Structure formats: C-alpha cells, structure tokens
C-alpha cells in the first residue's frame, strides 16, 4: 500500500508514517517545505495550484491521510470525486459533520485519533440505546509539545458553543464542569466540543465529552480561558510541564458500564490509529463516510502498540 500523508513532517504526520512503515507500507510525506529527502513532496495546500498538485499526487497512492490539521472540505471533496480513500485526524466537530455529508462512495474515515477515534470506538462498544446518556472523559497530559494546529484548535474553542449540542441549546466550551474519576480519584473535567455526539448521533444516545488536563492547575487555567476567552493566548505560551499521557474513558449512565484505554505519546497514538484506519480504508475502499467505530470494535485497542492500559 502507498499512502500520501498531508502534514507528513509534523508530529502526527511523522508518527503516522512511522506506524505505516513499521507495517511494511510505502509512505509519501507531503508538506509546504521543499522536498529535501526521498519520500517527500512539496504540497502547499493553501493555494489552488497546491491543491491541484495534491490531487495529482494522490492519484498514484492508495489512500490519503490528512494529518496537517487543515480543515478544508474542498480538499476532501476533490479526493472524493477522484475516488481516493481518505482518513482525517481532525477533531473539529463542525468540520467533521460537513465531511461525513460529502457525496461519494470512496471510504472517508471521519475522525481517526484519540478523540475522536478511540473515544468513538469506546462509546460505540457500550451499545448505546436511544435515550441513553454516555459520558466521555478525555485526559491529555500537558508535557507533549503539540504543533500549532493543535494549540490553535484548543484555543479557538474558547468563547464558542458546541456544534449541534445534544441538549438543543447553546453550551459554551470549558464552562460546564463535571467531576469524574481518573485512576480512582475525582478530577475536574470541562465540557468540550469533541465530536462523538455528532458522529454517533444515529444511536439516539446523548453523548457528552469532558476534558481534563495533566494537572489540576492546567485544567483550572483552561476553565479560566473558557470564562474569559480573551485570555486564550496563554494556551500557546504555557510551558509543557508534566508528561504526555492520554486516557479516554466512556461510561453509560444507564448500565454504569465503563470502558477505557490509555497510553503515552498523544501524537504517536493519533498517528498509529490513523495508520490502522488507512489500512482498513484500502481494504474496504467504497464504504463512503465512516467513523472509527464503523471500521473497528474495541479489540483494536488491544492490537495497538500505543495503548498500554
């Protein structure tokens, strides 16, 4: 299999490429920087010429993985028209909602990573029924130096409401608080616009996702940004203290059943799950828009090297 990775020289792109190469697949890394090594191609997706070149390059590949953080429906639409399987690692709810409604039968994996991705698989594995309420806890350590796209995504949510909140009323990011257990201890979590309430809306369940950071102090800082969005600039300036742990847990309130997965290396985990999705997309190339839960059951978590618990 030959995969084109958009944002191939970024943290997630490099992790995706490493995971694919370890499984014996060929990787072509696309980035705005000039191709300076074998297996790289210059692709500036901010220009029409760059997007055209991307489509031409993709014609020689089996799958395209967007690890760039760039949310561009026209780019995805062009690949859908060309019939190229596509995997997107974005977590933007409104964007992924639009992505899954694009026409075309080529497999299009909507949200491959930790949240969505692992979170989607766990929530679906709880067998949610209409009327159920699913709570998803997402812990992200603050020791990992994320790329600018990830920082911008987190900051951009401040002052915004959830896209299509299941309550049917405006819910502001980082303002609703809920105490949820992590490793047997209660931790403050903040309601955040991760997209599983949209990606799994066909279940009829109400799905809410809450974020907690590696330290209570960092979470309190995020709550402050939620209350005063003008302070969002402190997120980019914050030092990377702590570790790079991640953990996702999903709980069905009706049954009290809880499923979780955890590991270290957030970019590594996102990259590995994107790689697994890419392989599956080439095996089943005409599924249309799908989530990770449409491609995998919870057993994929035991197969992934990045999952340690």
CB burial readout 270-300, b (16+ within 10 A) else e? bbbbbbbbbbbbbeeeebebbbbbbbbeeeb
Residue 122 and residue 65 share a domain: no
**Strand, helix or coil for residue 298:** coil
Alpha-carbon dihedral angle through residues 221, 223, 226, 230, given to the nearest 10 degrees: -20
Residue 129 and residue 46 share a domain: no
Residue 233 and residue 101 share a domain: no
Residue 198 and residue 134 share a domain: yes
Tell me, yes or no, if the pTM score tops 0.85. yes
Residue 26 and residue 136 share a domain: no
Write the CATH number for 87.
Answer: 3.40.50.720
pLDDT of residue 143: 78
Q: What angle do CA 23, 27, 33 make, to 5 degrees?
A: 145
Task: Give Dmax (Cα) for the chain.
Answer: 55
Gap between the Cα atoms of 240 and 80, Å rounded:
38
Write the CATH number for 127.
Answer: 3.30.360
Per the omega criterion (within 30 degrees of 0), is the bond before 116 cis? Answer: yes
Residue 227 and residue 156 share a domain: yes
The H or E element that residue 30 is part of is strand 26-31
Residue 253 and residue 196 share a domain: yes
Q: Which domain holds residue 168?
A: 115-265
Edge-to-edge strand list for the sheet holding 245-252? 177-182, 185-191, 206-213, 133-140, 245-252, 258-264
Residue 150 and residue 261 share a domain: yes
Ranges of beta strands (E only) in 56-103 are: 63-66, 86-88
Q: Tell me the pLDDT of the chain (309 aa) as tens digits.
A: 999 999 999 999 999 999 999 999 999 999 987 666 788 999 999 888 888 999 999 999 999 999 999 999 999 999 999 999 999 999 999 999 999 999 999 999 999 999 999 999 999 999 999 999 999 999 999 877 655 556 678 888 999 999 999 999 999 999 999 999 999 999 999 999 999 999 999 999 999 999 999 889 889 999 999 999 999 888 777 666 778 999 999 999 999 999 999 999 999 999 999 999 999 999 999 999 999 999 999 999 998 999 998
Residue 221, domain member (yes or no): yes
pLDDT of residue 34: 60
- Backbone φ and ψ of 250, nearest 5°: -125, 135
Residue 288, domain member (yes or no): yes
Residue 212 and residue 249 share a domain: yes
Residue 261 and residue 216 share a domain: yes
Q: Which residues make Cβ contacts (< 8 Å) with residue 39, sequence separation at least 6?
A: 26, 27, 28, 29
Residue 309, domain member (yes or no): no
pLDDT of residue 149: 59
Residue 94 and residue 14 share a domain: yes
Number of domains in the chain: 2
Residue 308, domain member (yes or no): no
Q: What angle do CA 161, 136, 218 make, to 5 degrees?
A: 70
Gap between the Cα atoms of 299 and 222, Å rounded:
33
| Burial environment of residue 12 by CB neighbours within 10 A (0 to 12, 13 to 18, 19 or more) | buried
Residue 227 and residue 97 share a domain: no
- Return the structure tokens found at 213: 């950071």
Residue 228, domain member (yes or no): yes
């Amino acid at each position: 299999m030959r995969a084109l990775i958009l944002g191939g020289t970024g943290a997630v792109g490099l992790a995706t490429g490493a995971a694919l190469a370890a499984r014996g697949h060929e990787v072509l890394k696309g980035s705005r920087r000039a191709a300076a090594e074998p297996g790289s191609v210059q692709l500036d997706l901010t220009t029409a010429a760059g997007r055209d070149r991307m489509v031409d390059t993709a014609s020689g590949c089996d799958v395209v993985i967007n690890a760039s953080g760039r949310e561009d429906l026209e780019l995805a639409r062009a690949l859908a028209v060309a019939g190229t399987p596509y995997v997107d690692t974005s977590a933007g709810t409104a964007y992924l909602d639009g992505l899954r409604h694009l026409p075309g039968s080529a497999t299009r994996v909507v949200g491959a990573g930790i949240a969505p991705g692992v979170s989607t698989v766990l929530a679906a594995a709880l067998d949610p029924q209409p009327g159920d309420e699913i709570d998803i806890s997402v812990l992200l350590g603050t020791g990992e130096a994320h790329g600018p796209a990830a920082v911008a995504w987190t900051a951009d949510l401040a002052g915004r409401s959830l896209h299509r909140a299941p309550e049917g009323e405006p819910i502001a990011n980082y303002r609703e608080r809920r105490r949820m257990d992590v490793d047997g201890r209660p931790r403050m979590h903040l309601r955040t616009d991760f997209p599983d309430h949209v990606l799994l809306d066909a279940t009829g369940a109400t799905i809410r996702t809450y974020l907690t950071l590696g330290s209570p102090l960092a979470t309190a800082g995020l709550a402050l940004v939620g209350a005063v969005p003008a302070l969002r600039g402190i997120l980019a300036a914050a030092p990377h203290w702590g570790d790079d742990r991640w953990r996702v847990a999903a709980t069905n309130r009706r049954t009290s059943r809880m499923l979780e997965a955890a590991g270290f290396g957030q970019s590594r985990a996102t990259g590995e799950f994107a790689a697994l999705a890419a392989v599956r997309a080439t095996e089943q190339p005409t599924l249309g828009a799908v989530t990770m839960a449409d491609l995998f059951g919870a057993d994929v978590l035991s197969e992934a090297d990045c999952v340690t618990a």
